[in-house]
Structure 1
Amino acid sequence: MADAHAEGDPALLLADFVNTLDVESATDDIATPAALGGWLAERGLVPAAAGAGDADLRMAAALREGLREAMSAHHGPQEAGFPDDLEDALAALPLRITLTGPRPALVPLDPSGTAAAGLARLAAAIMDSVAAGTWPRLKVCQEDTCRWAFLDTSKNRSRAWCSMSVCGNRTKTRAYRARRKTAPT
């Protein structure tokens, strides 16, 4: 189910973050503050020595599920906007705009290595993904038991499942069986 990572691609970073919770197996890669700190450090969002607390963990979970909901909305009309839960999570993150680079950028208020700064860098990746044109292509699998995040690279942006051979097949088989069950004999 995992997509290949392109180094530095903000869309794939966001999908990777959403996929820290595997809905199907109910495994959470950032279930503890230490795991969250480790995940952020592995991706270069915070220094290896950065710690995380319970409040950071709650903020990460809210951000992750808000992103999952926003990516789910990418299957529908593009006017959907951000879900309220994601708006609330983003509002709690310490971000500011800087004009020091070649273009304006969102950066953490506190550039030190806190988990909140790492989560703020994840939020900034949303804007980087928008700028790269990949934000509307970030989706979650429409199979209710999966909900895996992926980057829709199809030409017409119509991909619905993380894997046609697994989740697409499950959905189509379920629909086929339902039609056969109700069909007159």
Structure 2
Amino acid sequence: MQQATAETCAPSVCESSDLLLGFVNTGPLGGSPDTLTGPDDLTAWLARTGLAGSGTAAAVTGADAVAARELRDALVMIFRAHSGCEDGESALPAAEAYLQAVAHRYPLTPRVTADGVRMVPAQDGVLGAFGALFAAAADLAARGGWARLKMCKDPSCHTGFFDKTRNSSGLYCSSACSTRMAARAYRSRAKTAAAEAR
């Protein structure tokens, strides 16, 4: 059973991981509906995350919603690969190629302050919001947290989560999912053993 440690993340890491996980968790997970089906959904997500700039609501289009879902699906595949999911591994090259191909649409620029340097979107509006996702990914990668973004391996869940285990071995988003999967594995072993004993 996977147990998360009490470790906390630095505020910037939490902000970056929260943004990315909030984005991937808009998908149809564990039977819940997709919450990025059209421009209104994307506009609502941008408002919830604080990424909606002035005039963004009027500028969000159906094509933007499609682009958001494609970006989300590629990130989901990356996070599933981080969890060791077979479909994540097999879809990884396509997801990486997609992210590489679209990254130029969402350029970043360094913001230099006395506290440090961070990458920020070079654009406003929807393109800037998507750029903020790439900036969050770059921030996590620079801090060694990128591989800790995972998708829960419980097939009835598949929620994105930040793995806080000490050795980055977490596979489930919660102890409930971990317990449920352990029980399924136990029942499967017991069924196999009973069949072999006949």
TM-score by length of 1: 0.81
Equivalent position of 1:43 in the other structure: 49
Which letter does structure 2 place at the counterpart of 1:155?
A: R
Cα displacement string for residues 122-163 of structure 1 (whole angstroms, at most 9, x for unaligned residues): 122110111222211111101122110000111111111011
CA positional deviation for 1:96: 2.6
1:147 aligns with 2:161: no
Equivalent position of 1:16 in the other structure: 22
Q: Which of these two proteins has the greater Rg computed from alpha carbons?
A: 2
Cα displacement string for residues 85-133 of structure 1 (whole angstroms, at most 9, x for unaligned residues): 343145325233424524362523xx232x2321121122110111222
Q: Distance in 2 between matches of 1:132 and 1:155?
A: 15
Partner SS, residue 56 of structure 2 = coil
Partner SS, residue 28 of structure 1 = coil
Equivalent position of 1:85 in the other structure: 95
Equivalent position of 2:127 in the other structure: 116
Distance change >3 Å, CA 99–CA 6, structure 1 → 2: closer
TM-score by length of 2: 0.76
Partner SS, residue 179 of structure 2 = helix
Matched-pair contact (CA < 8 Å) for 1:138–1:150? yes
1:107 aligns with 2:121: yes
Q: Distance in 2 between matches of 1:5 and 1:133?
A: 11
Q: Distance in 2 between matches of 1:144 and 1:38?
A: 28
Equivalent of 1:169 in 172, 176, 179:
179
Cα displacement string for residues 10-52 of structure 1 (whole angstroms, at most 9, x for unaligned residues): 0121011111124112312222211101211221222263131
Equivalent of 1:60 in 57, 68, 89:
68
Overall identity of the aligned pairs, in %? 32
Equivalent position of 2:4 in the other structure: none
Judging by fraction of residues, say which structure has more helix: 2
Which letter does structure 1 place at the counterpart of 2:124?
A: S
Structure number with greater CO (CA < 8 Å, separation at least 6) is 2
Distance change >3 Å, CA 5–CA 158, structure 1 → 2: closer
Unaligned runs of 5+ in 2: 1-7
Matched-pair contact (CA < 8 Å) for 1:59–1:89? no
Q: Distance in 2 between matches of 1:90 and 1:5?
A: 28
Distance change >3 Å, CA 100–CA 10, structure 1 → 2: closer
